């Protein structure tokens, strides 16, 4: 017979803060060695090495980023993005966190307040961990296959101020949290419309001016012969980060548009791909989907309907067992279980681009859709 669950009123959920100050003072080994929270904080970081890595992942793995009508990448952060020193996860125009209601301490008991774990704030983030009482553990175990929490993925740009049409009646909720900009809009400074717009502009401009590192076209062993590698290195010069999938993919598309004569004005190109905020064509953020299509999602995930079909907020199930077994870092579970298959898409207005490469050095490599980078 299973032991009954005891009510322990004095025990409450205790958060352990993810801010590092306390831990650092307690543990002198922390951050004295090893790698930082992002790849460029690794003492051995090199742009060339990271571009080789990204190129191998993107062009030789099974996640296809460059399609005819979409540019895309997964929400999952690349290897090297972690919580060392600070929680830097959420680098790909997609931020994620866990949301749940504090579990009851007894069968039939009430759920507590709604909380988020690992959600980015303007500075720092909400706590990563929750500490469960024995009774809460029993409750979660008794409800191990019930959905008691959510992984939230958002691509809502930090500078988009669009209202939520669905809130004109009643705002949709996630685990008891009404959707609003405060909690569900991305926070990291680079996860914005403007940053993406500028990146397109800068990479197109570089392509148009020819002022960037180029390989010898006739030398297949020259790493810059690779369209992706060339764009990856250029990303850094254009103000992006060469270790991100998103920045390098956006820059590769932009560079190829210019190399192949598909655009002649960087501002126009940027406006076509990422309309700046508060203009007629502006949008909330890049739509989320799956690898199958822009509007498919992995099993256990669904869209939060904001009323604008933007597809920018997705929730995925966290079961009682998930919460019990991963209470120290549910955001990490969101990353490992779902983030690789939640995909950020940039629709490409293919009709707007007619390519005439002229005498560009790379003219011979240009197809009708040169933004489909294959090498």
Partner 1 sequence: MDRYAIILSTLLAFSCSETSEEAIQTCTSGKCDGVGDYNFKSELVDNDDPVAKYLLKNANENGTISGDYSTFLDGIGQEMGCGKETEKTFTILMSNKDHFPRNIVTRCSDDAIRASEFTLSTQSDNGELTDINPSDFKMIAWDKNQRRYNLYEAKKSSSGDGLSVEVQPDSCLSCHTQSTRKGAPLIEWTPIMNELTNPWTLWNAEPDFRSHRFDELLNPNVASGSVYKTMTHQELLGSASDFELITRRAIDRVVSARLRDRRDDAEVGKALDLLYPLFCDESANYSSENHESGEVSTAVIIDDALRYLYLQIRPDNWPHSWLNDGRMRLRSVQNNLPPVNVMPVRGESTLQVEVGLVSRGSLSAEAVIALRALDYKRPIFSEFRCSLYEARASDLRKNFLLESQHETVSDLLPILFGELMQMEDSAGVTRSLIPQNGGVYANSELDVSSPVESIYAGQKSIEDFALELEQYFDEVSASSDRRALESERVRRGCLARQLFPSAPQIPEISCL
Phi, psi of 281 (to 5 degrees): -95, 5
- Within residues 298-317, the interface with partner 1 by CB under 8 A covers 298-300, 302, 317
Partners of 252 in beta bridges = none
Cβ at position 123, least distance to partner 1 in Å: 16
287 vs 290, beta carbon nearer partner 1:
290
13 binds partner 1 per the rule CB under 8 A: no
Cβ at position 46, least distance to partner 1 in Å: 13
Alpha helices in 238-294 (DSSP H): 245-259, 266-273
Q: Which of 144, 194, 265, 369 binds partner 1 (CB under 8 A)?
A: 144
Q: How many CB atoms lie within 10 A of CB 125?
A: 24
Spatial contact of 241 and 231, defined as CB atoms under 8 Å apart: no
Q: Which of 95, 186, 327, 370 binds partner 1 (CB under 8 A)?
A: 327
319 binds partner 1 per the rule CB under 8 A: yes
- Within residues 200-259, the interface with partner 1 by CB under 8 A covers none
2 binds partner 1 per the rule CB under 8 A: yes
Which three-class secondary structure state does DSSP give residue 200? helix
Contacts (Cβ under 8 Å, ≥6 apart) of 2: none
Spatial contact of 69 and 373, defined as CB atoms under 8 Å apart: no
Burial (Cβ within 10 Å: 0-12, 13-18, ≥19) of residue 21: exposed
Q: Which of 296, 354, 367, 375 binds partner 1 (CB under 8 A)?
A: 296
Q: How many residues bind partner 1 (CB under 8 A)?
A: 64
Site string for partner 1, 71-110 (x = CB under 8 A): --------xx-xxxx-x-----------------------
Closest CA to 148 of 207, 103, 114, 116: 103
Closest CA to 61 of 74, 70, 44: 74
321 binds partner 1 per the rule CB under 8 A: yes
Cβ at position 301, least distance to partner 1 in Å: 8
90: left (phi over 0), alpha (psi -120 to 50) or beta: left
Q: Which of 12, 24, 68, 352 binds partner 1 (CB under 8 A)?
A: 24
Please state, in angstroms and rounded to a whole number, the distance separating the CA atoms of residues 253 and 246: 11
Site string for partner 1, 39-78 (x = CB under 8 A): --------------x--xx--xxxxx--------------
35 vs 237, beta carbon nearer partner 1:
35
340 binds partner 1 per the rule CB under 8 A: yes
197 vs 327, beta carbon nearer partner 1:
327
Cβ at position 369, least distance to partner 1 in Å: 19
Instruction: List the Cα angle 105/334/115 in 5-degree steps.
Output: 40
- Helices 245-259 & 193-209 angle (0-180, nearest 10): 40
165 binds partner 1 per the rule CB under 8 A: no
Give the number of residues written for the chain: 375
DSSP state of 336: I
123 binds partner 1 per the rule CB under 8 A: no
Binding site residues, partner 1, CB under 8 A: 1-3, 16, 18, 20, 23-24, 27, 29-31, 33-36, 53, 56-57, 60-64, 79-80, 82-85, 87, 128-129, 134, 137-138, 141, 144-145, 147, 290-292, 296-300, 302, 317, 319, 321-322, 324-329, 332, 336-337, 340-341
């Amino acid at each position: 017979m299973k032991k009954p669950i005891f009510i322990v009123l004095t025990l409450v959920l205790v958060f352990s803060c993810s801010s590092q100050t306390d831990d650092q003072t307690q543990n002198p080994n922390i951050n004295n060695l090893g790698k930082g929270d992002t790849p460029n904080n690794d003492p051995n970081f090199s742009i060339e090495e990271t571009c080789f890595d990204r190129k191998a992942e993107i062009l030789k793995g099974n996640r296809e980023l460059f399609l005819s009508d979409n540019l895309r990448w997964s929400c999952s952060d690349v290897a090297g993005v972690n919580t060392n020193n600070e929680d830097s996860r959420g680098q790909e125009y997609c931020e994620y966190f866990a949301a749940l209601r504090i579990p009851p301490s007894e069968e039939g008991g009430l759920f507590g307040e709604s909380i988020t774990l690992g959600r980015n704030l303007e500075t720092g983030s909400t706590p990563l961990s929750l500490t469960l009482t024995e009774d809460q553990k029993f409750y979660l175990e008794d409800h191990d296959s019930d959905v008691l929490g959510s992984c939230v993925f958002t691509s809502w740009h930090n500078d988009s101020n669009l209202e939520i049409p669905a809130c004109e009646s009643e705002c949709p909720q996630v685990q008891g949290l009404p959707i609003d900009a405060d909690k569900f809009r991305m926070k990291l400074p680079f996860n914005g419309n403007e940053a993406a717009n500028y990146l397109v502009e800068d990479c197109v401009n570089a392509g148009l001016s020819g002022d960037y590192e180029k390989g010898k076209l006739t030398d297949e062993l020259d790493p810059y012969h690779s369209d992706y590698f060339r764009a990856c290195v250029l990303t850094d010069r254009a103000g992006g980060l060469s270790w991100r999938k998103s920045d390098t993919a956006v820059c590769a598309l932009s560079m190829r548009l210019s190399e192949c004569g598909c655009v002649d004005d960087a501002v126009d190109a940027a406006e076509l791909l990422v309309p700046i905020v508060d203009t007629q064509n502006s949008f909330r953020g890049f739509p989320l989907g799956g690898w199958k299509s822009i509007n498919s999602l992995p099993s256990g995930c669904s869209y939060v309907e904001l009323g604008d079909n933007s597809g920018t907020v997705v929730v995925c199930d966290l079961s009682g067992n998930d919460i019990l077994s991963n209470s120290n870092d549910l955001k990490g579970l969101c990353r490992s279980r779902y983030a690789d298959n939640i995909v950020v898409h940039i629709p490409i207005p293919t009709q707007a681009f007619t390519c005439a490469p002229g005498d560009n050095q790379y003219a011979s490599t240009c197809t009708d859709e040169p933004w489909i980078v294959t090498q």
